[in-house]
Amino acid sequence: MNDQELRGHIETLSDRLTGLEQPLRTRYYLTCEAEQVYEICRFLFEDVRARFVIATVIDNDDNYEIVYHFAVDERGTVINVQAFLRDRDHPTVASITPFLPGAEWIEREMHDLMGIHFEGHPRLERLILADDWPDGVYPLRKGGAS
Protein backbone atom coordinates (compact mmCIF):
# COMPACT_ATOMS: atom_id res chain seq x y z
CA MET A 1 0.00 0.00 0.00
CA ASN A 2 1.43 3.38 -1.00
CA ASP A 3 0.42 6.78 0.35
CA GLN A 4 -2.19 7.41 -2.38
CA GLU A 5 -3.86 4.08 -1.71
CA LEU A 6 -3.92 4.81 2.01
CA ARG A 7 -5.46 8.23 1.40
CA GLY A 8 -8.03 6.56 -0.90
CA HIS A 9 -8.91 4.02 1.81
CA ILE A 10 -9.40 6.76 4.39
CA GLU A 11 -11.48 8.88 2.02
CA THR A 12 -14.03 6.09 1.67
CA LEU A 13 -14.91 6.89 5.30
CA SER A 14 -15.76 10.49 4.51
CA ASP A 15 -19.56 10.13 4.79
CA ARG A 16 -19.04 9.01 8.42
CA LEU A 17 -16.69 11.87 9.27
CA THR A 18 -17.22 15.51 10.14
CA GLY A 19 -13.68 16.42 9.21
CA LEU A 20 -10.59 14.97 7.55
CA GLU A 21 -7.23 16.69 7.77
CA GLN A 22 -3.80 15.61 6.63
CA PRO A 23 -1.33 18.20 7.92
CA LEU A 24 1.64 15.97 7.07
CA ARG A 25 2.18 13.07 4.69
CA THR A 26 2.29 10.77 7.70
CA ARG A 27 -0.51 12.18 9.82
CA TYR A 28 -4.32 12.10 9.59
CA TYR A 29 -6.88 13.72 11.85
CA LEU A 30 -10.37 12.30 11.45
CA THR A 31 -13.19 13.90 13.45
CA CYS A 32 -16.55 12.24 13.94
CA GLU A 33 -19.49 11.87 16.28
CA ALA A 34 -19.55 9.07 18.86
CA GLU A 35 -22.14 7.02 16.94
CA GLN A 36 -19.70 6.42 14.05
CA VAL A 37 -16.72 5.23 16.12
CA TYR A 38 -17.37 1.51 15.89
CA GLU A 39 -17.53 1.39 12.11
CA ILE A 40 -14.59 3.76 11.60
CA CYS A 41 -12.32 1.84 13.96
CA ARG A 42 -13.43 -1.50 12.53
CA PHE A 43 -12.62 -0.26 9.03
CA LEU A 44 -9.19 1.05 10.05
CA PHE A 45 -8.30 -2.10 11.97
CA GLU A 46 -9.70 -4.82 9.71
CA ASP A 47 -9.61 -3.28 6.23
CA VAL A 48 -6.73 -0.79 6.36
CA ARG A 49 -4.85 -3.15 8.74
CA ALA A 50 -3.83 -0.24 10.96
CA ARG A 51 -2.41 -1.06 14.39
CA PHE A 52 -4.31 0.22 17.42
CA VAL A 53 -1.87 2.15 19.60
CA ILE A 54 -3.92 3.61 22.43
CA ALA A 55 -6.96 5.75 23.09
CA THR A 56 -7.16 9.00 25.03
CA VAL A 57 -10.12 10.77 26.57
CA ILE A 58 -10.29 14.54 27.04
CA ASP A 59 -12.80 16.52 29.10
CA ASN A 60 -13.72 19.50 26.89
CA ASP A 61 -16.16 21.20 29.32
CA ASP A 62 -19.19 20.83 27.00
CA ASN A 63 -18.35 17.38 25.64
CA TYR A 64 -15.97 14.46 26.01
CA GLU A 65 -13.55 13.67 23.26
CA ILE A 66 -12.02 10.25 22.74
CA VAL A 67 -8.99 10.10 20.48
CA TYR A 68 -8.22 6.67 19.03
CA HIS A 69 -4.64 6.47 17.84
CA PHE A 70 -3.92 4.08 14.98
CA ALA A 71 -0.61 3.50 13.25
CA VAL A 72 0.08 2.22 9.75
CA ASP A 73 3.62 1.05 10.37
CA GLU A 74 4.25 0.21 6.75
CA ARG A 75 3.86 3.90 5.82
CA GLY A 76 5.06 5.33 9.15
CA THR A 77 1.67 7.03 9.38
CA VAL A 78 -0.41 7.86 12.44
CA ILE A 79 -4.19 8.22 12.20
CA ASN A 80 -6.07 9.98 15.02
CA VAL A 81 -9.82 9.45 15.20
CA GLN A 82 -11.33 12.19 17.35
CA ALA A 83 -14.82 11.22 18.49
CA PHE A 84 -17.09 13.65 20.33
CA LEU A 85 -19.51 12.50 23.04
CA ARG A 86 -22.08 15.28 23.37
CA ASP A 87 -24.16 13.87 26.23
CA ARG A 88 -22.32 15.10 29.31
CA ASP A 89 -24.54 13.35 31.85
CA HIS A 90 -24.34 9.90 30.28
CA PRO A 91 -21.32 9.82 27.97
CA THR A 92 -21.73 6.61 26.01
CA VAL A 93 -19.89 5.18 23.05
CA ALA A 94 -19.73 1.76 21.40
CA SER A 95 -16.88 -0.40 22.65
CA ILE A 96 -14.31 -1.46 20.06
CA THR A 97 -13.13 -4.37 22.24
CA PRO A 98 -15.34 -6.99 20.51
CA PHE A 99 -13.13 -6.92 17.40
CA LEU A 100 -10.03 -5.37 19.02
CA PRO A 101 -9.16 -7.07 22.32
CA GLY A 102 -6.17 -4.77 22.82
CA ALA A 103 -8.60 -1.97 23.65
CA GLU A 104 -10.10 -3.75 26.64
CA TRP A 105 -7.94 -2.28 29.38
CA ILE A 106 -7.74 1.27 28.05
CA GLU A 107 -11.54 1.36 27.81
CA ARG A 108 -11.82 0.12 31.38
CA GLU A 109 -9.33 2.78 32.45
CA MET A 110 -11.32 5.53 30.69
CA HIS A 111 -14.44 4.17 32.38
CA ASP A 112 -12.73 4.33 35.79
CA LEU A 113 -11.24 7.78 35.49
CA MET A 114 -13.71 9.69 33.29
CA GLY A 115 -16.94 7.72 33.64
CA ILE A 116 -17.34 6.94 29.94
CA HIS A 117 -19.73 4.04 29.37
CA PHE A 118 -18.59 1.62 26.66
CA GLU A 119 -21.56 -0.25 25.24
CA GLY A 120 -20.85 -3.85 24.36
CA HIS A 121 -17.65 -4.08 26.43
CA PRO A 122 -17.31 -7.67 27.70
CA ARG A 123 -16.04 -6.74 31.17
CA LEU A 124 -16.48 -3.11 32.12
CA GLU A 125 -15.23 -3.39 35.71
CA ARG A 126 -12.88 -1.36 37.85
CA LEU A 127 -9.32 -1.61 36.65
CA ILE A 128 -6.97 0.89 38.27
CA LEU A 129 -8.78 2.78 41.03
CA ALA A 130 -8.51 1.60 44.64
CA ASP A 131 -10.88 -1.16 45.76
CA ASP A 132 -12.63 1.17 48.21
CA TRP A 133 -13.01 4.06 45.76
CA PRO A 134 -16.63 5.29 45.84
CA ASP A 135 -18.82 4.48 42.82
CA GLY A 136 -19.81 7.35 40.58
CA VAL A 137 -16.77 9.51 41.41
CA TYR A 138 -14.56 10.06 38.39
CA PRO A 139 -11.28 11.67 39.44
CA LEU A 140 -10.06 12.99 36.09
CA ARG A 141 -13.26 14.84 35.19
CA LYS A 142 -12.93 18.59 35.46
CA GLY A 143 -14.03 19.78 38.87
CA GLY A 144 -13.28 16.17 39.86
CA ALA A 145 -12.70 14.27 43.03
CA SER A 146 -9.69 15.78 44.81
Q: Site residues (CB under 8 A) for another protein?
A: 129-133, 139, 144-146
Minimum CB separation of residue 77 from another protein in Å reads 33
Minimum CB separation of residue 142 from another protein in Å reads 13
Q: How far apart are alpha carbons 23 and 143 in whole angstroms? A: 33
Nearer to another protein, 19 or 144 (CB): 144
Q: Is 124 helix (H, G, I), strand (E, B) or coil?
A: coil
Give me the sign of the Cα torsion angle 37, 39, 41, 42.
positive
Minimum CB separation of residue 132 from another protein in Å reads 7
- How far from chain centre, in Å, is Cα 132? 28
Q: How far apart are alpha carbons 137 and 126 in whole angstroms? A: 12
Nearer to another protein, 122 or 144 (CB): 144
Nearer to another protein, 24 or 130 (CB): 130
